[in-house]
Amino acid sequence: MSEIPTDAVPGVGSGRGTLERDQSKRSRIVILNDDAGRTQKAVRRGKAPYCVTEPNDEERGEYMTEVRTSSPCERPCAGIEDTPEALIGTGGRGEQRHRKVHSLIDKVYDRTNLTDAWKHVRDNKGSAGIDGLTIAAFTEREDEILARLHEQLRDRTYRPRAVKRVAIPKAGGGTRNLGIPSVTDRVVQQALVAKMIPIFEPLCADCSFGYRPGRSPHMAMRKVWREINEGNLWILDADLRSYFDKIDQERLVDLIAEEISDGRILQLIRSFLEAGVIVDGAWEPTKTGVPQGGVASPLWSNIYLTPFDHAMTKAGYRLTRWADDFVVVCRTRQEAEAALATARTFLHDKLDVSLHPEKTRIVHVTNGFEFLGYKIGKGKGLKLPAHKRTARTNPLGLYAVPRQRSVDRFKDQIRNLTRRNAPVRLRDVIEVINPVIRGWGTTTGRRTYGNCSIEWMAGLNVGYAPSSPSGGETRCGDGIHFHVWCRSSDLCV
């Protein structure tokens, strides 16, 4: 096919449609509107499509069937966008293309999506933000607030509030700063996340497990367990220093913009990042980081570290990452040292984050290491009953038990919830304790890694004793001892 000269149609360019011109080797000429409404031409070389507006009748010509109207903040074409990177090496007409998503904002503020987001926030409960609006108060005005959010997002008048700074104690000492958004902002973030997950989830590496749908700490543990059993006994145990506080906001938005070209979505994300924080009643700016405690923070933190995941796996390292905590299982100490050097260089040069010097180390599995609340090591371990053992069961004698800090924290929770002098009804005590027990059982209960069965007793059961009018005695694994009286099985849920 012969190419049509750029002056074939005045003010249009090659005369071909937008999608067809995007594949051309020649410079693209697009039509822009300046602030005064005057039409002007601009030449784009080697870049993704720019904001294009509808030409007037004189400029339209017979070849402009593919040009579509777009706002100054949204890309043309309601579906996807091809970027030039995918066309390199195929003469400008490659079959594999990097496709962007745009015109996404209307899916975010859709009433059904907002309603689903509110239900998710309501089920997660949580405290009020800086505006004092609670979950219960939001429920009473649900229709009104959701309608207002829909209009504000549609009309570009929505502005998130600053987050409330809350300091919580860390298991190893010190405090961790959380940023609690308002309930309204959590609903908007959840609506945004619901539309971003289908875009970014397929791009995540298999070695990433934290805060991803369908993935759990036990899946990460099984991966590490399997790799150690394959004879890889040297471990790079690493942690990022103040990761959530050090994320480069501009770099994060750039990574998101590689997949989403809707300017209104990017601006909405920026508004959350730049909303600031209230500390002791005063507003402070947030120039770096994402607030821990926000609905969108887990997804954004994963997006930021996805290039690191791919770089490490492409280099051949057995990486397993959960949020800012990761391990690399290696065959030799030399491989572990090389993995450490690679990780440190990439994180510093590409992402501007650093490893925690005190929490990052290289260790042999015989000496043990901690990951995701477990102490993993090589020794006698927890053996299966004799009738269940086979010749291939746990040949290295590995073990994984909850680390002592996790056990102590669980015991402290139970002590605080079962104080003898607390004037609380039994029904209320049971309703509070049972979620704690279930959570402990879910994270540190009976699990199987490879061919080795790892069993840890939660140590507490609040049960119903129908044969005893005075109730039953309950013990908690390590010294916690109290009585529970249940006259009805309805109490024990």
Please check whether residue 76 is in contact with residue 18, taking contact to mean a CB–CB distance below 8 angstroms.
yes
**pLDDT of residue 118 exceeding 50:** yes
Inter-CA distances, 396 with 232, 385, 480, 487, Å: 11, 17, 35, 49
What mean pLDDT comes out for the span 200-208?
Answer: 95
Q: Which residue has the higher pLDDT, 311 or 417?
A: 311
C-alpha distance across the termini of the chain, in Å:
73
pLDDT-derived band at 69 (thresholds 50, 70, 90) equals very low
Residue-averaged pLDDT of the chain = 74
Give the global pTM.
0.70
DSSP 350: I
pLDDT digits (tens, 9 = 90+) for 273-318: 999 988 888 888 888 889 888 899 999 999 999 999 999 999 999 9
What is the rounded CA–CA span in Å between residue 483 and residue 121?
A: 36
Q: 3-class DSSP state for residue 338?
A: helix
Neighbours of 341 (CB within 10 A): 10
Please check whether residue 193 is in contact with residue 299, taking contact to mean a CB–CB distance below 8 angstroms.
yes
**pLDDT of residue 66 exceeding 60:** no
Which of 162, 199, 159, 196 lies closest to 291, judged by CA? Answer: 162
Q: Provide, rounded to the nearest whole percent, the portion of the chain with pLDDT above 70.
A: 65
**pLDDT of residue 470 exceeding 80:** no
**pLDDT of residue 54 exceeding 70:** no
pLDDT score for 321: 96
DSSP 387: G
pLDDT-derived band at 393 (thresholds 50, 70, 90) equals low
**pLDDT of residue 443 exceeding 60:** yes
pLDDT digits (tens, 9 = 90+) for 342-391: 999 999 999 999 999 999 999 999 888 989 888 888 876 455 565 665 55
pLDDT-derived band at 320 (thresholds 50, 70, 90) equals very high
Q: Which residue has the higher pLDDT, 418 or 189?
A: 189
Phi, psi values for residue 52, rounded to 5°: -120, 135
pLDDT digits (tens, 9 = 90+) for 6-36: 343 333 333 333 333 344 333 443 444 444 4
Which of 347, 90, 87, 314 lies closest to 239, judged by CA? Answer: 347
